[in-house]
Structure 1
Amino acid sequence: MRVLPLLMLFGCASSLISAETLKAYTEEFAPFNYTQQGQYLGLANQILDRISQSSGLQFERESLPWLRASNENQAHPNSLLYTTVRTPQREKQYLWVGPYDDCDVVFIKLKNRSDIQINSLKDAEKYTAGAARGAAASQILASMGYNMARLDTRSPEEARTVRMLYAKRFDLSAGMLIPHVYSAKQQRYDASQLTAAYTITKTGGCFFAFNPQVNPNLYQRFNTAFEQLRSSGELDKIRRQYLGNDIKSSNKAKP
């Protein structure tokens, strides 16, 4: 006769756990977020770990190719997508928490390519360029009137774009410098050869992007925990582990 009460108890416990859980969709985008031997690592994942500790929220994480991750986020109201670059094109698609980095979008070249000189976006069209499929860089370039026929977006991940740059299959790669440097190191290229050739745009920064139909209470708890990390200085301490000491303070007002 005690079976039914026990089942009810377990059912209630399961409901409570579910109510505290957010699905968190991400991609392999080191050093911000990546997986290794089943563990979720990187700057953004460490921030999520700290938010979980301080807020009691649980995160059901899944690393997928970017377009699949984005689609899953749209399909599940209580979910977030990271690392997401905040752009005018994406502004109304999400609720935002961040930023945890500036994440300016640039054209990147090899330092020994002194023949590449760019003073305007039109100049950049003289060269072959690559960007990961679905990445913010390609969306931004399209919105700015860049000739998209000059941009190869067949690479599903940025690591391949970096390989193509070093192989000189591309003259330029469009994206953020820090992930390019990290990817180059991981693939045993000389990362010191990478340099920003031209700033495409200064973005709103790198954020956690929530489905706009997320439970408001869960969103608010997450945002409050993030702001506590920022105001205490702990966010900058986490960032220095990945980006070095020469960083701008993240203790600034939210956009």
Structure 2
Amino acid sequence: MRRAGIFFQPKERRSITILRRVVVIVVFVIVALWSRGMFAAPQAEAAMEAARSVRIYTEDFAPFNYITDTGLTGAGADVVREMARRLGHDGKFEILPWKRALQIVDDTPGTAVFSMVRTAEREPEYKWVGPIIVTRGWLYKMTDSDLDIRGLEDARKVAAIGVQAGGAAERILHEKGFKNLASLYTPGNALQLLASDRIDLWEASDLVMEHQRRKFEIDPSEIEPVIGLGTYELYLAFSPQTPDFVVAPWQRVLDELRGDGTFAEIGRKYGVIIPSEEAEVLSDGDINLMTR
């Protein structure tokens, strides 16, 4: 006679098999979660350390980022410096001519540059954090000029349009067939060139024009915008080879600045338009000719 409890009926055996499988799965999940917990912190810290090690470049171009007796200042510089501080980055930015800075960032992982306008042409060439500034671009002329400028076709006929060397305006106007571009390697004195008739038109943002107008003590009535070129958003642009996990912490701290009022405070200091959720965004049909 078989003793009770030693052998099981088929239904009982199936139940035990299922139970064993459930136990194995539960144990596997627990071990997996434990392992992820063990390695998640080191991985996150490694990503933060990489973000803190990014080499950042800019140029001397007021009022976005420029040199004073006390060091680098400007609306873009102040925003990026505060981002760096919150990340634990040393906040040391190398100042170079714009074209040289772009050459480095184009070719070198773990690098970034500011303040750069985000255009459709540039979209795949960088990884973007921003916007850090929003401004509006124009073609300007001196009020006493005899030029009659009513549109871009009229602008094609002048002798020289001053544009930032290596900037978006130079690139896009060239692609649109403009043959009369004067590339400016020292854009900080562009308004002087316009006032002395060395260029006929000057492409610049309203903020840049106002800064130079005050610097060179030119009356507001002496200069006028003739062609509006749209509203532009400026960014901190990372090299395309930089991993996303390095870029993401920078966007996170920028969002924090936007949320806690720091953006607004910096904006009031420089008189720039601080980006908001309601800020105008360029459509594909807009002319995007910002100087950066």
1:96 is the counterpart of 2:123: no
Q: Residue 76 of structure 1 is aligned with which of 83, 96, 108? A: 108
The offset of 1:43, in angstroms, is: 0.8
**Residue matched to 2:268:** 240
CA-CA distance at 1:37 after TM superposition: 3.5
Q: For residues 251 and 23 of structure 1, what CA distance do their matches in structure 2 show?
A: 27
Aligned counterpart for 1:186 among listed residues 194, 215, 229: 215
CA shift, 1:201, in A, is 4.2
Q: Which runs of 5+ in 1 are unaligned?
A: 1-15
The residue aligned with 1:4 is none
| Structure 2 residue 180 is matched with structure 1 residue 150 | yes
Q: CA deviation at 1:17?
A: 6.8
Question: CA 1:193–1:97 in structure 2 vs 1: closer, same or farther (change >3 Å)?
Answer: farther
Distance in 1 of aligned mates of 2:142 and 2:264: 29
Distance in 1 of aligned mates of 2:221 and 2:89: 39
Return the offset for 1:187: 3.4
Residues 231 and 251 in structure 1, CA contact (< 8 A), matched pair in contact too:
no
Deviation at 1:106, TM superposition (A): 1.8
1:178 partner amino acid: L
Counterpart-to-counterpart distance in 2, 1:233 and 1:107 = 33
Aligned to 2:284: none
Which digits, 9 at most, give the CA deviation of each residue in 1:87-118, with x for residues without a partner? 111111111111133333321112333x3332
Larger-Rg structure: 2
Whether the aligned pair in 1 keeps the contact of 2:133 and 2:275 (CA below 8 Å) is: yes
Q: CA RMSD in A?
A: 2.4
Number of residues of Structure 1 aligned to a counterpart in Structure 2: 232
* Distance in 2, Cα, partners of 1:231 & 1:17: 24
| CA contact 2:59–2:97 (8 Å) conserved in 1 | yes
**Deviation of 1:190 (Å):** 3.5
2-structure distance, mates of 1:158, 1:191: 19
TM-score of the aligned structures, taking structure 2 as reference length: 0.72
Deviations 1:124-162 (A, max 9, x none): 12223211211211112123x242x22211x21212322
Residue 150 of structure 2: aligned partner = 119
Deviation track 1:26-57 (CA, whole Å, cap 9, x = no partner) reads: 11111110122461111111112211232223
Whole-angstrom distance in 1 between the partners of 2:185 and 2:249: 34
- Aligned partner of 1:226 in structure 2 is 254
